[in-house]
Amino acid sequence: MEEKRNDKASMVRRLFDEIAEGYDRANSMMSLGRDRRWRRIVAERCALPKNGRALDICCGTGELSLALASSDSSINVTGLDFSAEMLARAHDKVSASGLEGRIALVEADATRLPFADASFDAATVGWGLRNVPDLDATLREMARVTRPGGKVISIDMGHPRFPPVAWAYWTISRFFVPAVGRAVAGNAPAYRYLHESAKAFIDQRELARRFASVGLGGIRIKNFLGGAVALVEGTRVG
């Protein structure tokens, strides 16, 4: 089992290193430009206090980390990822934003977070949970490093429940996502994996149950695009 997890981690790291350069453009195209709004909603749902600290795991090129830091001038954010190429682009964007004093970037494993218990006021992950080698370990770690009363939030591709919407979404995604990958990143196979990983990942209702299983309370699901994208949040209790 450990060998299988390591194999997935190595494969995913290599894939994201390969597509880092065109990743932001591809995301914008695939979401029809709505991804920025969704990240702002995540930042709002975190309800960070003044001088709050947020952890953004699987931060990629830093878009959600930037949205969190931009939500209030007193907020400090730690972005964490295991792809060096993604983090290199995040560093460039953070420097260009003028927020380098409030955003720290760390290369580390999301299943073994290098932080003490209750270190953050919120922990987020955007489009990342389906790529981690151990989902439950990652959720336990997110809950562990969040203070009691703090939010743990994921936003990711979901599973629409209404059959016509589900059929249309998965059919379009099957062809559109690799086409975007080919056009923007020159890597259709990597984006085919992104489509397949989204389809194979648990739906938002099961993810909500996994949130509860690691001790999070106040579970809430917010769907976008008929459930094609889903925000799942919970609150650290005790």
In a domain, 145, yes or no: yes
In a domain, 116, yes or no: yes
pLDDT digits (tens, 9 = 90+) for 12-57: 888 787 777 777 777 777 777 789 999 999 999 999 999 999 999 9
CATH code (residue 38): 3.40.50.150
Per-residue pLDDT reduced to its tens digit, 62-79: 999 999 999 999 999 999
pLDDT of residue 33: 79
Give the pLDDT score at 238: 79
First to last CA, the chain: 31
> Using 50, 70 and 90 to split pLDDT, how confident is the model at 137?
very high
Q: How many CB atoms lie within 10 A of CB 98?
A: 8
Residue 231 included in any domain = yes
Is 230 within a domain?
A: yes
In a domain, 171, yes or no: no
The answer to whether residue 196 is domain-embedded is no
Q: In total, how many domains does the chain have?
A: 1
**Token pair 């930042």: residue:** 43
> What percent of the chain lies above the pLDDT cut of 70?
94
Mean pLDDT of 94-122: 97
Q: Which of 109-123, 168-182, 205-219 has the lowest mean pLDDT?
A: 168-182
Asked if residue 91 is part of any domain, the answer here is yes
Q: Please report the pLDDT score of residue 47 as a whole number.
A: 96
Burial of 87 (0-12, 13-18, 19+ CB in 10 A): buried
State the pLDDT confidence band at 5, using cuts at 50, 70 and 90: low
Q: Output the six-digit token pair for 214.
A: 């690691």
Task: Give the DSSP letter of residue 115.
Answer: S
- Determine, yes or no, domain membership for 175: no
**pTM of the full predicted structure?**
0.90
Mean residue pLDDT across the chain: 90
Give the whole-angstrom CA distance, residue 102 versus residue 67: 12
Residue 107, domain extent: 2-157+202-236
pLDDT over threshold 60, residue 3: no
